[in-house]
Amino acid sequence: MDDKTKKRTTIKCSFCGRQRAKLKRLITGITLDVAICSECVQLCHDIMEEEEQQEKKLSAVVGSAEEHRLPTPKEIKAKLDENVVGQDYAKKILAVAVYNHYKRIKDQELIAPEGAKLKKSNIMILGPTGSGKTLLAQTLAEILNVPLAIADATTLTEAGYVGEDVEGMLNKLLMEAQFDTALAEKGIVYIDEIDKIARRDSRGGGTRDVSGEGVQQALLKMIEGTVANVPVKGKRKLANKDTIEIDTTNILFICGGAFVGIADIIHERTSDKKTLGFGSAVASKNERPPIGDLLEQVMSTDLATFGIIPELIGRVPILAPLHDLDEDMLVEILQQPKDAIAKQYKKLFKMDGVDVTFSDEALRSVARKATELECGARGLRSILERALLEIMYEIPSNESVTELVITGEMMEGVLPESLVS
C-alpha cells in the first residue's frame, strides 16, 4: 500500500474527528489534508440557514436608525384602536407611557444632555379577566417593532425553589430577539397575573411565602434596571456561552392582573359613608359605582392594601385601569378588529367554498353567553366554536351550499334544512 492510499484510508473529518470507516460519506480536499463528512456539511448548512433567517428577521424588525421613527401617542392609540375595542382611557395612558419610555431611550443614545436624567416608568394594567390586558401589550410590541416576552407571575419563585426564576423572563426575551442582546435590551416584558403574588401577611403562619412577597422582592432590581446574567437556553449555545449579560435599564416592564377585590378597597377609600356602629349606612352593590369606574380611581395606596409591596409599586408607577366588557363591546370585538373571530371563521368557511354571514342576532347571542359566564373576550372563541360545531361538521360534505347566513337559532344548535342530511 503506497503512502497516498494509506493516507486515504486513515483520513478523518477535520470538524468532528471521526474516521472514514464510521462515516457514510466523506468529502476530501485536493491534498487529502482536509476533509468534511456529510453530517457536518448538513450541520453547517442548518447553521447558515438559521443565521440567514435571523438576519432577515432582524433587518425587517430593526431597519435603519434613520428610517425608524417613534410614533406619537395619537398614532400609537390609533393602532391600538385597530386591534382592541374600547378602553380609551387605558389606551391613552399606555400610548403616552410607551412614547415617553422610548423617547427616554433616544435621549440616552444621544450625547448626555444637561439637566435632569429621565427615569424609567413601568406600567401596571388592572382589569377583569378577558378585558384585553395581554392583547394591549402584544399590540404595543407590534406597533414599536420590539421583541415581547410574556411571563406568568404564578410560575415564578424565589431562587432556590422549584419553579421558574425571574431571569427566565429575560431568556424568553432573548429568544424573541433572536439572541440579539441590543434589541432585547429595548424590548417589552409583560408579567401577567401579578396580583397572584400579593403578600399574604393576613393569612398568618410563619412559613416563607415562596410565591408572594419573596417573588416581588426578586423582581425589584430587574424591573428598576440591573445587569443580569441570563442562562442561555435554546437550540444551541452561542459562542460556547452558558450565560449572556442583559442590561434591563431600558426594558419596559408591563405588569397585568385582575386584582379581584381591589374595587372594594377603592370603594371603601372613596365612599362618603365611613361611619361605624349600628347607625352606619351600608351601601348595597346596586348603589356602588361599576367596577370600571372604581378602577379609574385606583391609587398606589390601594395596591399596597391589596398586598403589593411599596418597593414594587414605586417601580411600576403608571396605572392603566380597564373596564368590564359589556355585551355591546363583545359584539364589536367579534367583528371589528383586524383579526376578529368572526372574520377568522368566515375565512375558514370560504376555504370550503361557502360565503358565510353572521347575523346581528347570532353575534349578540355569543356575546350574551360570554357576559353570563363572566369570561370576557377570552371566552368568545370557545363559545362560537361549540355553537358552530354541527355546521362545520356538515358543510365540507355538502357541495350544494355556497352561501349561509348564521342566525341566532343556529347558535342554539338548530340546523337549517339545507344542511340536514
- Residues 258-271: pLDDT tens digits? 898 898 999 988 88
Whether 420 shows a pLDDT value over 60: the answer reads yes
Q: How many CB atoms lie within 10 A of CB 77?
A: 20
Mean pLDDT over residues 169-179, rounded?
Answer: 88
With a pLDDT cut of 90, the percent of the chain lying above it is 24
378: pLDDT strictly greater than 80: yes
Overall average pLDDT of the 281-298 stretch: 72
The mean pLDDT of the chain is: 80
The pLDDT score that the predictor gives to residue 56 is: 59
Compute the distance between CA of residue 378 and CA of residue 90 in angstroms, rounded to an integer: 19
The model carries a pTM of: 0.72
Domains of the chain: 3-62 (no CATH), 73-321 (3.40.50.300), 327-419 (1.10.8.60)
How far apart CA 50 and CA 34 sit, in angstroms, is 25
Per-residue pLDDT of 94-146, as tens digits, reads 999 999 999 888 766 554 555 566 778 899 999 888 888 899 999 999 999 99
Residue 117, C-beta contacts closer than 8 angstroms, at least 6 positions apart: none
Q: What is the rounded CA–CA span in Å between residue 133 and residue 191?
A: 10
pLDDT at 39: 85
Residue 23 or residue 189, greater confidence: 189
pLDDT at 83: 86
Q: Say if residue 396's pLDDT is above 70.
A: yes
Tell me: pLDDT of 355 over 80: yes
pLDDT for 111 equals 47
pLDDT tops 80 at residue 37: yes
Is 80 exceeded by the pLDDT of residue 176?
A: yes
Lowest mean pLDDT among 154-158, 177-181, 341-345, 353-357: 154-158
The mean pLDDT value for 324-353 works out to 89
What is d(CA 384, CA 40) in angstroms, rounded to the nearest whole number?
50
**Which amino acid is present at 249?**
T
Give the pLDDT confidence score for residue 234 in this predicted structure: 54
**Cβ atoms 16, 39 nearer than 8 A:** yes
With residues binned 3-state (H G I as helix, E B as strand, rest as coil), the percentages for the chain, rounded to 5, are 50, 10, 40
Read off the pLDDT band of 213 (50, 70, 90).
confident
184 torsion bin: left (phi>0), alpha (psi -120 to 50), beta (else): alpha
- Say what the pLDDT of residue 5 is: 54
User: What pLDDT does residue 286 have?
Assistant: 57
Q: Which pLDDT score is estimated for 59? A: 53
State the residue for C-alpha cell 368566515.
346
User: Predicted confidence band at 161 (pLDDT cuts at 50, 70, 90)?
Assistant: very low
Kindly give the pairing relationship between strand 123-126 and strand 318-321: parallel
Could you report the per-residue pLDDT of 299-330, keeping only the tens digit for each?
999 999 998 999 999 999 999 999 888 889 89
